[in-house]
Amino acid sequence: MGKSLLIVESPAKARTIKKYLGKGFEVKASIGHVKDLPKKELGIDISADGEFAPHYVTIRGKGKVISELKKAAKTADAVYLAPDPDREGEAIAWHIARELGRREGVYRVLFHEITPQAIKEALKSPLAIDENRVNAQQSRRILDRLVGYKISPLLWKTVRRGLSAGRVQSVAVRLVCDREAEIKAFKPEEYWHIDAMLSGPQPPVFPARLHAIKGKKAVVGNQQQADGIVKELSTASFTVSKCEQKKRKRNPLPPFITSKLQQEASRKLNFSAKKTMMVAQQLYEGVELGASGPTGLITYMRTDSVRVSDAALKDCRDYIKGRFGSEYLPARAIHYKNKNSAQDAHEAIRPTSMEFDPDQVAGFLTADQLKLYQLIWNRFVASQMAPAEYFQTVVDIKAGEHYRFRAVGRRQIFAGFLALYEVGKDNGNGSNGKEEDRELPPLAVGDQLTLEKLEPSQHFTQPPPRFTESTLVKELEEKGIGRPSTYATILSTIQDREYVELREKKFYPTDLGVLVTELLKKSFPDILDVSFTAQMENTLDQVEEGKYDWQQLLKNFYQPFEERLAAAVATMKEVRQQEEETDEICEKCGARMVIKWGRNGKFLACPNYPECKNTRNLTSREMPADPELSPEEIEQLGKCPQCGSSLTVKNGRFGRFIACSRYPECKYTRSIGTGIGCPVEGCDGEIVEKKSRKGKIFYSCSRYPDCQYALWNKPYPMTCPDCGHPFLVEKVSKSRGHYLQCPRKECSYSADLPEKE
């Protein structure tokens, strides 16, 4: 009997599977797609009757791969095509099958986890290539090409060359722009809380908040109202009017789907969506586990299904019973319900085997792999554990004739799944979001309470928060924009195109992003419409299920799109030719300067160009001094060495910098130094603060590019007592908070960060 050929996408997966299959199989990798639409032309023939025929070409560099696959297939009795079990994987298998040119002995196999059992089971039941899934992928690819190839030249003409539009990415940029517009338009409203510190028959003293006034929800809008209520309550009697005690349960969450994994890895691990998927891919394809060789540790990481196999549930329940005890194990396995749109072919993201406890495999994983694997492991195990149980007390307190306060206490009586896992919160500080219990003293209806203190506090309503990676993925998921396999690419693409930037873990639209969004909203309202894009995703799902013809989908999209395109060509204004006059005076010729658009966004320019070529950075001129610096710190900056005026801190395209306060009369600037010398031998530079293209602060030598020393963590002026390195760096972790550490990898010295006086 001859050998069989099995073709997967990645070399890492090929190595893992080869170990399981042995000598009877040759395993090769396609290294992703082998064919695609051409880069420099539309690559789609549209017939007179509206049929769409994509023209695929071999991707540059993949000719050799195809030749090797063809050569191996000629001598194989059977060829098994095993790219990833999704639309892209199906398209890869389809292209490879067509290149091989074999009519017989070519099969499609699907692996949802890289384990010996899963692979052998798949090979026992080979399938035909799913034409519906291929057509869904072709539809998406053609739609994206039509939008990108047809709209991008318009942006080149009206704004600048090199810009591009994306069918889904442009909607994601719109979400960020719309949120920013909401924040700018938001008008805060004042409100007050009134808290009472009360003592009852038994300690401790406990807080209660004003809950109702004359039987209606308490609304206190200003200080005058608050002061009046405080004055009235200062002599009132406080009596317990209602006391309810209930036992409550909190159920665990399902195991991870792709979007939830990206959100939680962002909250808890500070991973970008792109990094999360990259590390998850490594865990899925196989990690070297010593003598065991390459081993797949998790199931397929692109899924929107929470289904788990019966065998995996049994193994998980056995693990829980053995580690935590019977009281942590529900009477039956928990089965979670999928959303209607979920593709149930895949399982949820889970460990492939309960034998691979994170503690046991930790020595074989990188730090990032271990963090993500631990997160997936804990979430999966917790999903099958008993609920957490609480004893909750709600006490209503009558105060005077018209007021009612409320106090809520909670005491955990059984940890349940919380013994292992607590979901993170989108609070922007990396907290794990764990809720604290608060005990109330024993109270009964009729108890007279003593007022210890009244505490009025002023508050203002807050605008909606800017999106983080976690919350933007959540928003895309909830609105039906994109699918699990696309979220990471969407977030990465909109940053690479400089339509948004990530600052302090929050998305801000750039001037370019706002401009392009406004232009597309006017000329292509459907393309930028959230509900339209979501409906298109649903229709693509129907194509995959064989319920909708893919050519009809393209026809329905293209006719109105072509009409919009023709209108846009005639009506879209050329932004780069538009000028906005300002009150700024050109110091060279005295003309009023104008705002123009350039490659890097808005800038000030003299209108008398080319006779006068004076330009000025608009961004740095508009930005105020850094609000984090105190007046004393600003004074410490000293005087301008050129004109003697005060120096100030401004924000520019590449981060904060020090500038003369008399700008533009005096154009002195310098980087913000740390006062710490560059550690490179023979270099007399200073470590200064800078900002990367993606908005992240880093520190590098002031003599760049002559000296290329750089680091991400802020240097601290203290010599390492262990190795003598001239400075330490500031770091932060959830368990330790802020601390100092030696930047030399060979040195393990660390210490607590001294408190500021």
Catalytic site residues? 300
* 106 neighbors 74 (Cβ within 8 angstroms): no
Encoding tokens for residue 23?
């000598």
User: Which residues pair with residue 596 across a beta bridge?
Assistant: 603
Q: What are phi and psi of 400, to 5 degrees?
A: 65, -150
Q: Which of 440, 429, 537 is nearest to 480 (CA)?
A: 537
Could you give the CA distance from residue 12 to residue 289 in angstroms, rounded to a whole number?
13
- CB proximity list for 362: less than 8 A, separation 6 or greater: 370
User: Which residues pair with residue 52 across a beta bridge?
Assistant: 46
Q: Which of 371, 381, 366, 181 is nearest to 287 (CA)?
A: 366
Could you tell me the strand order of the sheet in which 728-733 lies? Answer: 715-716, 728-733, 737-741, 750-752
Residue type, 635: E
DSSP H or E run through 245: strand 238-250
Q: Which of 296, 267, 294, 270 is nearest to 281 (CA)?
A: 296
Q: What is the helix, strand, coil percentage profile of the chain, to 5? A: 35, 25, 40
- CB proximity list for 677: less than 8 A, separation 6 or greater: 684, 685, 686, 687, 726
Q: What 3-state class would DSSP assign to 84?
A: coil
Q: Nearest 10 degrees: CA dihedral of 139, 141, 144, 147?
A: -70
The number of residues making up the chain comes to 757
Helix ranges (DSSP H) in 629-685: 631-636
Q: How far is CA 201 from the centre of its chain?
A: 50
Q: How far is CA 178 from the centre of its chain?
A: 18
Could you give the CA distance from residue 431 to residue 489 in angstroms, rounded to a whole number?
26
What is the number of alpha carbons within 13 Å of residue 89 lying toward its C-beta?
A: 19
Q: Which of 85, 132, 129, 123 is nearest to 108 (CA)?
A: 129
Antiparallel, parallel or unpaired: β 238-250 and 287-288 = unpaired
* 222 neighbors 192 (Cβ within 8 angstroms): yes
Q: What are phi and psi of 414, to 5 degrees?
A: -155, 125
Could you give the CA distance from residue 533 to residue 13 in angstroms, rounded to a whole number?
34
Helix ranges (DSSP H) in 529-658: 530-544, 550-571, 618-622, 631-636
Give Cα separations from 667 to 616, 621, 627, 642, 670 (angstroms). Answer: 10, 11, 22, 9, 10
Angle at CA of residue 696, ends 691 and 699, nearest 5°: 55
Could you give the CA distance from residue 308 to residue 347 in angstroms, rounded to a whole number?
5
Could you tell me the strand order of the sheet in which 25-29 lies? Answer: 25-29, 4-8, 78-81, 106-108
DSSP string, 251-262: PPPPPB-HHHHH
